Structure formats: structure tokens, C-alpha cells
Amino acid sequence: MPEWDRATVLARVRGSLRDTFPGMFGAEWERARDIFYAEVRACHLQVLAPMPGIKPVLHAAARLGPQGVVSNKGGALLRAEAAHLNWAPLFGAVIGAGDASADKPHAAPILLALERLGIEPGAHVWYVGDTALDMQSARAAGCTAVLLGPAEHDGGVANAAPDLAFARAEDLRHALASLANLGGLGGR
């Protein structure tokens, strides 16, 4: 298959491996999965680069109550990254692709994270993501869909259709700090 440049990867990689590889690689999808994971495991921690300004956001969110991570990245890889960044203590649940009965945009991974956190789903739960698929998943789980960033690879903010949108991590941090000062989101 032709090699993808970064822009192509960002535009195409939204769904989980188990949802996308069969369509991309047909009968050879399991072989492609094994090759992909071998390459990722060999270097992912060395090239890991968190979104700029996200660490203060995580600490601001922690003031509001328990938090978790839900991603379409494989669960084991996601947990290794949280540990590598020393962020694992911030999360009561780290749910990746393959950990729930279905992956995003299905509600199952968010609902599993909420179950592990002891939180009922509802509008009081903010699911923050950077893609239209994240917004779909949040709505499927009955949570408030919060977009961080421009969602440019998904056609922009309007196409992602979030309930709330923040252009920069600093904007989200300010909003979370204000909520913490006012007593939180309610219902937690």
C-alpha cells in the first residue's frame, strides 16, 4: 500500500484498529495488526508528545473529581503512555481500544470508564476530545461533548458539532478552574 504522510494519517486515523484494519487490509488485517503493533511498541514512548498545555488541564480537571481516559489507541499502549508520562495517578480509569465490548464511537468504552470511576453517565460528565468521533461517542454515552482544538481534519468545529468547544488547552484549563471555584459540574 502507498505510504501515508502525516496529514493523511491525521485525516484517516480515527476509528480503532479492530474497526478499521479489516477494511483496509482485508484477509491480511491480522498480519497488518501484528506488524503495526510491533513497530509502535518499538518507538511509541520515545516519540510520545502530549498536546501542548494539556498537563495543567489534567490538574485543573482533577479538582472537579475523578477522571479517566478513553481512546481508540490500544489499551496496553495507552496505559504504558500514561505511566511513562507519570500521569497514571491522575486517572481512575484508562480505557483503550479492545478494553470494552466496542470501541468509539460506540458508548461502551466511555460507559466502562464511568463504571470504573463510580460515576453515572449524564450531562454533568464532560468527555473532552479532539475529533468528531469523540463528540459522537460522548453523545452516545449521554455525556457533554467537549471539543478541544480546531478539528480541522474532521471539517472543523461546526462539523464536529460539540456541545462546548475550546480552541486551546489554556482556554479549557480556565473553564475547569472556574468550575472548580464554583463548586464543580454538579451531580458528582
- Specify whether 88 is located in the same domain as 168: yes
Domain count, the chain: 2
CATH code of residue 122: 3.40.50.1000
- Specify whether 35 is located in the same domain as 92: no
- Specify whether 136 is located in the same domain as 168: yes
* Residue 187 belongs to some domain of the structure: no
- Specify whether 26 is located in the same domain as 99: no
Calculate the CA 10 to chain-centre distance: 14
- Specify whether 27 is located in the same domain as 120: no
- The pTM of the full predicted model, rounded to 2 decimals, is 0.85
Domain of 28, in residue numbers: 6-47
* Residue 188 belongs to some domain of the structure: no
- Specify whether 38 is located in the same domain as 73: no
- Specify whether 138 is located in the same domain as 73: yes
pLDDT digits (tens, 9 = 90+) for 15-54: 787 888 888 888 988 898 888 888 888 888 999 999 999 9
Residues pairing with 128 in the sheet: 146
- Specify whether 72 is located in the same domain as 150: yes
Calculate the CA 43 to chain-centre distance: 20
Q: What is the DSSP letter of 107?
A: S
- For residue 164, the SS3 value is strand
- Specify whether 106 is located in the same domain as 165: yes
Nearest to 104 by CA among 66, 141, 79, 77: 141
pLDDT digits (tens, 9 = 90+) for 101-131: 999 999 999 999 999 999 999 999 999 999 9
